């Protein structure tokens, strides 16, 4: 039996424990297990945003685009993120939203492939995250194609859209095998890494993944709606054409009288004027993760989720996340018929978790801010609440 | 002859003069005539961003999406912007970049029209702003159509993309007549209001404009890369389909297992998770403009630019902006063969203007922050510099 003293011992031995001090802790009693929806605020981000607003924008005004590197931020922040993906610095750009990024890369993938004009087929799992499914539907409509629900049969499929980590169960897809299987069927795969980046130690080139997107506001702690990233393997850069052409994707951005001529490299994924404040948040969050070390973070995520599953078992809670650590992302999903009630009652006790309809409670374990005792206390509280049905039911 | 005392008298009589105190003035000697590229920082924005980062994100974390209205911000900020366009509150959304907005609305317009699949024609003026031209080229490629350069002949055109205020000369297009002319030819017009919003008193319904986009970082002072807006006339809401489908554009955003079903109204233009910090900046900048009153702002813009042209004439500088106030936006363009040198030498004297290759200096006059004496001093300094050719040439 695991008891609280065991969790305390794990915290005391945790090599990453000091990183929690790098974050704003708004309430010492708060147990925040929602870093996989919105990560906590790095202290350095508070300072960096004040600087960007109060010294750069307010003080240096338009010259900041050059003097403070704003023009280069989407690629500069992309280069800082790249090592977390195992990618080359020039293979990643940070810009726009995950939705826009998927839209761009699905179109890129369709143009790379052999899809007959008029009938592209995009495959996606029925249970994948809604925005991924919606983008696929929208592109299929725009290009006169169709969406195939389900990934078992990829015959005739042009593009697969797929999350690496299931947003409900935390199950990790076998990226290498699934990318290869799709490729053997003639399909490119666009990987959504939103629940993977910053918590798994990724090596996209080794996995053979050529196209990926993800967000920076979960485990990377970039802030609310901070920009997403796009990754395109370098060997494809000269062959891709993305659909949203704008002045930040132009080879000579300030040439005013020329036709569109895409930038070399990943810069061609850029389009409109980037949101600088969002990029500042992304940059700082990425820096914290990079400095702490993604290998150590990924290792602690496995320990945290392992502890969570063990305690859930011990308390009689139903876990639907994989028991094999190598198949599990950075959260643990508990299934309970009273998920909605429990979610609210946990919140009232300062235990913040996610609810995903109809019956899932998702406990995100973000290694830089989550303590082993947080996992113990949250699940213990949850188990107690399951024994005290409220009058609301 | 106008002299500096005349400019001082105009400042003293300026009903909007107190609004300058609402902005951060980083240097009392700075003459900032670049508000039409990046507006100055409202003091309230500094406070609002600190609150959003340090109290909302850091303090209330994920619950801020509900507790602080983040989920509704794109439509809430759109509703605050709407009166500046003469639009109904439900006809405007603030989200993404101008480039993405044009991409969305050109696709919307193509689907509204009668374009034969496989051959849509998008017309745009050769001299329009690059990103507008690039988007048009990109959509034409994506949909197997073509771009027609020039707006004289609209026969066979499906969509016109057009700036209301020319980014170089400040000339205002006749929106009502040009929208009607395009419509008579069977074409929808997507208006780019980036250099118009916040400085002209607009009434899009009266002008018959049905589709428009624009940025919030120029005269609206929203901050670097603050999000753009899309406007769609209400009578079209139920008929439009935009191409980038995402969870923020879904009728029931948190329903996880349904096909895409667009939100009613302008909300269907939304797609991915919005950048909250950029929206905070847009919200505050829009509020300052709305409180000061767009009619008074537009009137002062005419006076400022009128003064600028008069002084330029008096100093022998060549002005290429319209002399009729009703045809002129919020900036004055000076043509000079030494524009690059003069731009740098003005900057060294704390006079910030824009340069647009090859030979244009653009003086943006932002009525909430620009004084009549700023216009006088900037042009006087410019005229002096034209008499002192540097050794760099």
Domains annotated for chain B, with CATH where assigned, are 4-32+293-386 (3.90.1150.10), 47-292 (3.40.640.10)
pTM: 0.97
- The span from the CA of A124 to the CA of B377, in Å, is 62
Rounded distance, CA A158 to CA A251, Å? 29
Say how far apart CA A84 and CA A327 lie, in whole Å: 19
Neighbours of A159 (CB within 10 A): 29
**CB distance B142–A249 less than 8 Å?**
no
Report yes or no: B269 at the A interface, CB cutoff 8 Å. no
Q: The tokens of A64 are what? A: 């900041």
Rg (CA), chain A: 22
Three-point CA angle B168, B331, B359, nearest 5°: 40
Active site residues of B: 129, 192, 217-218, 362
Alpha carbons B144 and A87: distance in angstroms, whole number: 34
φ/ψ of A381, rounded to 5, equals: -65, -45
Could you give the CA distance from residue A360 to residue A350 in angstroms, rounded to a whole number? 19
Q: Give the separation between CA A126 and CA A305, rounded to whole angstroms.
A: 26
Per-residue confidence (pLDDT) for residue B118, from 0 to 100: 53
A51: closest chain B residue by CA: B46
A319 in Cβ contact with A359 (< 8 Å): no
- Kindly report the nearest CA distance between residue B283 and chain A, in angstroms: 14
Q: Give the C-alpha separation, B66 to B124, whole Å.
A: 42
Residue count of chain A, please give it: 393
CA distance A136 to chain B (A): 8
Tally of residues, chain B: 393
Residue carrying the six token digits 């403009």: B289
Residues A5 and A12: their CA atoms lie apart, in Å, by: 10
**CA A225, CA A37: separation in Å to the nearest integer?**
10
Per-residue pLDDT at A257: 81
Instruction: Let me know if A134 is a catalytic residue.
Output: no
Q: B291: buried, middle or exposed (CB in 10 Å: 19+, 13-18, 0-12)? A: exposed
CB atoms within 10 A of CB A387: 8
Chain position carrying tokens 């969002």: A278
- Residue A256's pLDDT is what? 77
Are A225 and B54 within 8 A, CB to CB?
no
So what's the pLDDT on residue B285?
98
Q: Does residue A32 have an active-site annotation?
A: no
In terms of Cα–Cα distance, which of B363, B371, B373 is closest to B330?
Answer: B363
Instruction: Check if the beta carbon of residue B289 is closer than 8 Å to that of residue B221.
Output: yes
Residue of B nearest to A99 (CA): B272
pLDDT by residue for chain A (393 residues), tens digit each?
Answer: 999 999 999 999 999 999 999 999 999 999 999 999 999 999 999 999 999 999 999 999 999 999 999 999 999 999 999 999 999 999 999 999 999 999 999 999 999 976 555 589 999 999 999 999 999 999 999 999 999 999 999 999 999 999 999 999 999 999 999 999 999 999 999 999 999 999 999 999 999 999 999 999 999 999 999 999 999 999 999 999 999 999 999 998 888 788 999 999 999 999 999 999 999 999 999 999 999 999 999 999 999 999 999 999 999 999 999 999 999 999 999 999 999 999 999 999 999 999 998 899 999 999 999 999 999 999 999 999 999 865 544
Contact with chain A for residue B219, Cβ under 8 A: no
In this prediction, residue B388 carries a pLDDT of 82
Cβ atoms B292, A248 nearer than 8 A: no
Closest chain B residue to A27, measured at CA: B59
Cβ contacts of B274 within 8 Å, gap of 6 or more: A97, A225, B70, B73, B74, B95, B227, B248
- Reading the block at residue A307, the tokens are 């502890």
**Could B225 and A276 be called an inter-chain contact, meaning their C-beta atoms sit closer than 8 Å?**
yes
Contact B224, B239 (CB under 8 A): no
Mind telling me how many Å the CA of B226 is from chain A's nearest CA?
6
Residue B99 to residue A246, Cβ atoms within 8 A = yes
CA distance A197 to B249: 25
Which sign does the torsion angle of CA B154, B157, B160, B166 carry? negative
Residues (pLDDT < 70) of chain B are 114-118, 389-393
Report whether A234 contacts A89 (CB < 8 A).
Answer: no
DSSP, collapsed to helix, strand or coil, labels residue B259 as coil
Task: Scan for tokens 């900046």, then name that residue.
Answer: B281
Whether residues A271 and B97 touch (CB distance < 8 A) is answered with yes
Which of A50, A131, A256 is facing B356, going by the closest CB pair? A256
pLDDT for B256 equals 77
Is the ipTM higher than 0.95? The answer is yes
Residue of B nearest to A96 (CA): B96
The verdict on A315 touching B (C-beta cutoff 8 Å) is no
Q: How far apart are CA B371 and CA B390, in angstroms?
A: 29
Residue of A nearest to B40 (CA): A58
pLDDT score recorded for residue B348: 97
B-facing residues of A in 137-166 (CB < 8 A) are 137-139, 141-144
| Secondary structure class of B217 (helix, strand, coil) | coil
The C-alpha of B185 sits at a distance from chain A's nearest C-alpha, in angstroms, of: 25
| Helical axes B372-386 vs B4-13, angle rounded to 10° | 160
Task: Pick the residue of B27, B48, B57 with the most A CBs within 10 A to test the interface with A by mutation.
Answer: B57
Other CB atoms within a 10 A radius of the CB of residue B390 amount to 11
Task: Identify the residue whose tokens are 């603030």.
Answer: B94
Structure tokens belonging to residue A89: 């610095």
Alpha-carbon gap: A368 to the closest alpha carbon of chain B (Å)? 15
Report chain B's terminal Cα–Cα distance, integer Å. 32
Side-chain-side CA neighbours of B159 within 13 Å: the count stands at 34
Where helices occur in chain A by DSSP H, the ranges are 4-13, 43-50, 64-67, 73-81, 98-112, 130-142, 175-184, 204-207, 276-292, 294-315, 339-348, 372-386
φ and ψ of B40, to 5 deg? -70, 175
C-alpha distances (whole Å) from A348 to each of A183, A276, A359, A378, B255 are 49, 35, 19, 12, 24
The answer to whether B210 and B185 have CB atoms below 8 angstroms apart is no
Instruction: Name which of B99, B143, B354 is nearest A244 (Cβ-Cβ).
Output: B99
Q: Which residues are CB-neighbours of A156 under 8 A, at least 6 positions away?
A: A121
Using an 8 Å CB-CB cutoff, list chain B residues near A41. Answer: 53-54, 57-58
């Amino acid at each position: 039996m695991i008891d609280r003293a065991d969790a305390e011992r794990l915290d005391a031995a945790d090599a990453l424990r000091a990183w929690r001090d790098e974050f704003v802790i708004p309430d010492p009693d708060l147990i925040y297990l929602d870093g996989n929806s919105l990560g906590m605020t790095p202290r350095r981000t508070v300072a960096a945003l004040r600087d960007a607003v109060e010294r750069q924008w307010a003080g240096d005004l338009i010259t900041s685009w050059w003097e403070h590197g704003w023009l280069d931020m989407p690629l500069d922040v992309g280069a800082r993120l790249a090592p977390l993906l195992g990618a080359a610095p020039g293979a990643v750009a940070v810009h726009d939203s995950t939705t826009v990024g998927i839209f761009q890369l699905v179109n890129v993938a369709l143009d790379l492939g052999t899809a007959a004009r008029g009938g592209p087929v995009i495959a996606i799992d029925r249970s994948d995250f809604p925005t991924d499914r919606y983008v696929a539907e929208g592109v299929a409509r725009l290009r006169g194609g169709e969406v195939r629900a389900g990934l078992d049969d990829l015959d005739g499929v042009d593009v697969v859209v797929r999350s690496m980590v299931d947003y409900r169960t935390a199950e990790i897809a076998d990226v290498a095998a699934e990318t290869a299987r799709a490729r053997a069927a003639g399909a490119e795969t666009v990987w959504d890494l939103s629940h993977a980046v910053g918590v798994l130690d990724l090596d996209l080139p080794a996995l053979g993944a050529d196209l990926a997107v993800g967000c920076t506001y979960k485990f990377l702690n970039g802030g609310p709606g901070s920009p997403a990233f796009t990754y395109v393997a370098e060997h494809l850069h000269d062959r891709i054409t993305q659909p949203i052409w704008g002045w930040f994707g132009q080879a000579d951005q300030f040439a005013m009288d020329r036709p569109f001529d895409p930038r070399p490299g990943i810069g061609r994924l850029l389009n409109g004027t980037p949101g600088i404040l969002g990029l500042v948040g992304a940059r700082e969050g990425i820096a914290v993760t990079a400095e702490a070390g993604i290998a150590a973070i990924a290792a602690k995520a496995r320990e945290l989720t392992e502890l969570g599953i063990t305690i859930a078992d011990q308390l009689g809670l139903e876990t639907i996340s994989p028991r094999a650590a190598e198949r599990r992302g950075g959260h643990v999903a508990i299934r309970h018929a009273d998920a909605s009630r429990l979610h609210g009652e946990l919140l009232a006790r300062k235990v913040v978790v996610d609810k995903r309809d109809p019956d899932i409670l998702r406990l995100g374990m973000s290694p830089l801010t989550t303590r082993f005792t947080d996992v113990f206390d949250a699940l213990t509280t949850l188990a107690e609440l399951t024994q005290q049905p409220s009058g609301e039911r």
